[in-house]
Amino acid sequence: MKNFVLFGKPGSGKGTQAKHLSEKYELYHISTGDLFRKNISQNTKLGLLAKSYMDKGGLVPDEVTIKMLENEIKDNSKSRGFLFDGFPRTIDQADTLDKYLHSINMQINATIALEVDEKELISRIIDRGKTSNRLDDQNIEKIKNRFNEYNKKTSTLIKYYKDQNKFFPVNGHGSVDEITKRLFDLIDSFNPL
């Protein structure tokens, strides 16, 4: 079983590329952002809580996010592997994920980071905001807050995974197809799945 983390700043294309990767390598795709948005659309208690953070561009608290993630892994334990999209986003989330996977004889095999500069990210997010109805996409201050959250809480994961020799950066500029090909080439260069 192989498990990958898709890593990158807000809007770097994690969700976009996760669809292609999970299809080709038959990985179960877990997007914490999508799970929160599903809960919001169903007006659950978790959704209401998540919304109060997401709408401002902040991260949802770790204890809530980690519990939801563990349940999702348990419910899909027969999968060929997992593709974690947007998780982990803090050192606590990464530590808990490592310990949890270890307890069920699994591990993260690679963290693949999409690298895109902030000017391009702002333009992608504002563009999506015209149709997405996502409040966190529509306002430059909220978008900047998402970058601040990334810089304060998430970017330290680069060292965390580098120290484990599991960090693989990929150029995230270009067309969706070009980036997908770069990701396929990288994953195919690992030991056979």
Q: Which residues bind ligand B4P (CB under 6 A)?
A: 8, 10-16, 32-33, 36, 53-54, 58-60, 65, 86-87, 89, 93, 124, 128, 136, 146, 175-176, 179
Reading phi first (left if > 0) and then psi (alpha if -120 to 50, else beta), residue 191 is in beta
Question: Minimal CA–CA distance to 118: which of 7, 5, 8?
Answer: 8
Q: Please report how close the Cβ of residue 27 comes to ligand B4P at its closest, in angstroms.
A: 16
Cβ-in-10-Å burial (0-12, 13-18, 19+) of 71 comes to exposed
Residue 44 DSSP SS3: coil
| Chain residue at closest Cβ approach to ligand B4P | 33
Strand pairing class (167-171; 81-85): unpaired
Q: Please report how close the Cβ of residue 60 comes to ligand B4P at its closest, in angstroms.
A: 4
Question: Minimal CA–CA distance to 100: which of 127, 132, 134, 65?
Answer: 65
* C-alpha separations of 37 from 43, 147, 152 in Å: 10, 19, 23
Runs of H (alpha helix) within 76-111: 91-103
Q: Please report how close the Cβ of residue 49 comes to ligand B4P at its closest, in angstroms.
A: 11
Q: Please report how close the Cβ of residue 192 comes to ligand B4P at its closest, in angstroms.
A: 27
Q: Please report how close the Cβ of residue 11 comes to ligand B4P at its closest, in angstroms.
A: 4
Q: Please report how close the Cβ of residue 67 comes to ligand B4P at its closest, in angstroms.
A: 12
CB of 117 closer than 8 Å to CB of 35: no
